[in-house]
Structure formats: C-alpha cells, structure tokens
Amino acid sequence: MRFLSAAHTDVGITKKVNQDAFCLKIAKTPKMHLALAVICDGMGGLKQGELASALLVNAFSNWFENTLPQQAVQGVRLENVRTQWNAILQDQNKKIIAYGKSKNISMGTTLSAVLIAGDQYVLAHVGDSRIYLLSDHIKQLTKDHTVVAHEVEQQRLTLEEARVDKRQNILLQCIGATGSVAPEFVIGNLNEGEEILLCSDGFRHEVREEEMFGVLAPNLLGSERVMKKALVDLVELNKTRGEKDNITALLLKGIR
C-alpha cells in the first residue's frame, strides 16, 4: 500500500495565534510504505498552548525519524509502536506539566496520531481532536474525551443536545494539564482506496459528518491536489459559518 496525502491549517476568523500543530510524514522501507500523521490542538484559553502542541508533535516526529527506522528493518509491530507511543505521552505529559510549573503558566494539548504500516494502522488519542475512517461511509475511530461525550455515552444527553451544550469544550483529559493521562489506542486495517482523516475540533464544529463525507468521499479524491482543495473547501465552509477556533485537517488515502 502506498499513500496520497494532504494537509491544511488555518488560524480562523478570530484568533491571532494558531495553537494547532501537525506533522505528516511518509517513508518507504524494503518491506512496506509507512505514513505518520499527528495533530495536536493547544488548549484554547490556556497560555502557551501553541508551545505544548509543538512539543508533542516534535516528539512524535523525532520518533518517526530516529526510532522507527531501526524497527522497520525487521518489520513494524504495531503492539510495540503502541507501547512506545504510550511512553512518549507519559513522558511528555510530565515534561509539559513541569515546564508550566517552572514558568507559572498553564498549558496543554490534545493528541491524535496514526501510523499506517502497509495495510494496518495504530492510532493514539487524547482529548477532542478526532480521527475518522472514510470508505463507503464515514466512521469516527476515536472517542471525544469531553464531559459532553461522556454524558452522551451515559445516555444523559442526545447527540442533538450535545451539539449545543455549553460544556462541549470541557476536556476530561489532555496532555500537560492533568497529572495522569490514559491514551486511547486502536489497531485496525486500511483497505485500498480508504482514507484516514485527522482533524482538530475546529474542523467539525460547524460541519456535520455527512457534509464532510460529501466532500471527502474516497471516490471523489483521485489526487493530492484534489484532496488538498477538498480540505481547504471544508475549512472555508467552517469559517463562513462562524467557527472561531483554529482549524486543521490531515488526510491520508491508501492506494496500490
């Protein structure tokens, strides 16, 4: 499996600083193609959110550049990746907390990351950025670690009520703002022609999943140029509808 990729980020219509950070990397080994996509949303309202998101993205980028190549020689084992990523997240959580205390500031970030190795993927997730799988429909692979999502899961709120609930931005956990972190991990398969979408919460507040799929459906996107335009169009749609947050999205498509 090879990959087409696209990414787009926008500061939005109100904020002066883009606290979203991301990386998108593709590599080829003798055994397979690899793709890493990471998106981190520095916490809105917390000082230095852009620093927290950049630090975490850099940690994953360094892992891809320096640690993964040693394993790729023998083939990538996703269980090992999950263990290593958990160690990265625990370490970065402690470092960001310690840095914040040393500067007397509050800082934190969400994390959504996916590594695709051949036709398999592993994802890690903390917070309310999201990862979707797009095939003949759109499926959310991650859970929102928010008060509102928990209320929906407990059937105390409907999905329609959750969309307008004032607590939807209150996180139950993020990197650097809580003493302990319990990342969500998922391992799965990616079929030819399917796509993986990563996005910050600003990308999906004002645009519903069926609208995303109407623009990003795999049968509509045959090149990286078209993929990029589709992401830009959705970002601009969010802005015209009044989205005030930073907006970022990454898209990977598996091809033969």
| Average pLDDT score over residue span 104-121 | 95
- Dump pLDDT digits (tens) for 140-190: 999 999 888 778 678 888 777 777 777 877 888 999 987 889 999 999 999
| Mean per-residue pLDDT over the chain, rounded | 93
Among 50, 34, 38, 27, CA closest to 183: 38
- Dump pLDDT digits (tens) for 51-81: 999 999 999 999 999 999 988 888 899 999 9
d(CA 131, CA 52): 20
* Buried b or exposed e, range 86-120, using 16+ CB within 10 angstroms: eebbeebbebbbebbeeeeebbbbbbbbbbbbbee
Q: Is the pLDDT of residue 113 over 70?
A: yes
Phi and psi angles of residue 22, each rounded to the nearest 5 degrees, phi first: -155, 160
Q: Is the pLDDT of residue 118 over 90?
A: yes
Question: 132, 140 in Cβ contact below 8 A?
Answer: yes
d(CA 203, CA 156): 26
Q: What is the pLDDT of residue 47?
A: 62
Helix (H) or strand (E) holding 37, with range, is strand 33-41
d(CA 139, CA 86): 24
Residue ranges of domains in the chain, CATH in brackets:
2-144+174-255 (3.60.40.10)
Cα–Cα–Cα angle for 157, 159, 161, nearest 5°? Answer: 60
Report the percent of the chain where pLDDT is more than 70: 98
Q: Between the CA of residue 238 and those of 15, 230, 249, what are the distances in Å?
A: 14, 13, 12
d(CA 136, CA 242): 29
Phi and psi angles of residue 249, each rounded to the nearest 5 degrees, phi first: -145, 140
- Dump pLDDT digits (tens) for 202-220: 999 999 999 999 999 999 9
Report the percent of the chain where pLDDT is more than 90: 79
For the chain, the straight-line distance linking the first and the last C-alpha, in angstroms and rounded, comes to: 5
Angle between helix 209-216 and 224-240 (nearest 10): 150
> What torsion, rounded to 10 degrees, do the Cα atoms 150, 155, 161, 164 define?
0
d(CA 239, CA 14): 10
The model's confidence at residue 25, banded by pLDDT at 50, 70 and 90, is very high
Give the predicted TM-score (pTM) of the model: 0.94
The model's confidence at residue 86, banded by pLDDT at 50, 70 and 90, is very high
